[in-house]
């Protein structure tokens, strides 16, 4: 008998430490994502988000092997220090084929 892995669900979590010179402006990122939430519109292009998103994709690819990550949906939650969130499970049980296999969870330091 042989085994072949067809799908894998992983949670990638931790703090994001951007390289020197590529620091993320947290206030700008919060403003960009909050605007999208308040207007209930699709998340617009944001240079700040693009820098963070690109870094995460490249870091995950280097650290964990050849993973192809792409954005299906972008949203944001902002918490004060030492605040916990409820578990974020983004599975659409009626459409498992389009549900995420990898759900990154990162925090900016």
Per residue in 33-61, pLDDT (tens digit) is 777 777 877 777 888 889 988 998 888 88
Rounded-to-5 percentages of helix, strand, coil across the chain: 30, 15, 55
Give the whole-angstrom CA distance, residue 102 versus residue 16: 17
Q: Could you report the per-residue pLDDT of 62-108, keeping only the tens digit for each?
A: 888 877 777 777 767 677 777 776 666 666 677 766 666 555 555 55
pTM (2 d.p.):
0.61
Q: Where are the domains of the chain?
A: 17-75+88-108
């Amino acid at each position: 008998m042989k085994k072949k892995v067809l799908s894998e669900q992983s949670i990638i979590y931790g703090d994001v430490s951007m390289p020197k010179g590529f620091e993320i402006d947290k206030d700008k990122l919060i403003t960009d994502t909050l605007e999208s939430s308040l207007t209930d519109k699709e998340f617009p292009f944001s240079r700040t988000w693009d820098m963070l998103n690109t870094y995460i994709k490249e870091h995950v690819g280097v650290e964990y092997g050849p993973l192809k990550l792409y954005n299906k949906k972008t949203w944001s939650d902002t918490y004060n220090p030492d605040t916990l969130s409820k578990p974020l499970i983004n599975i659409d049980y009626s459409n498992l084929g389009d549900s995420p296999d990898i759900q990154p969870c990162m925090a900016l330091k």
